[in-house]
Amino acid sequence: MLPDFSVIDDPLERSAVITWRPLRDDHTEVQLAIRRRRSGSHPRAARDLHRMFVERGRAYEAGQPGVAAPRPR
């Protein structure tokens, strides 16, 4: 998810590789899916991002959507 100014009129947007959609309002829910290979090495930043999303997802499911996940090391 990116701000519109970083996508609109981007060469990838003009060639229809990516697109943008406005959010309906401040209460719009966004579902995010992360895909990664099961084998091989992953960059540390990708591992940290994955861990953060998993932790936030678990906190949300536990009814604590405002819980901040630890910052990546």
pLDDT in tens, 3-49: 778 888 889 989 999 888 887 787 877 777 777 777 778 888 888 98
- Please answer whether residues 72 and 52 qualify as being in contact, where contact means their C-beta atoms are separated by less than 8 angstroms: yes
Q: What residues have CB less than 8 Å from 13, skipping those under 6 apart?
A: 7, 19, 20
Confidence (pLDDT) at 65? 57
Q: How confident is the model at residue 69 (pLDDT cuts 50, 70, 90)?
A: very low
- Please answer whether residues 17 and 1 qualify as being in contact, where contact means their C-beta atoms are separated by less than 8 angstroms: no
Q: Would you say the pTM of this structure is higher than 0.75?
A: no
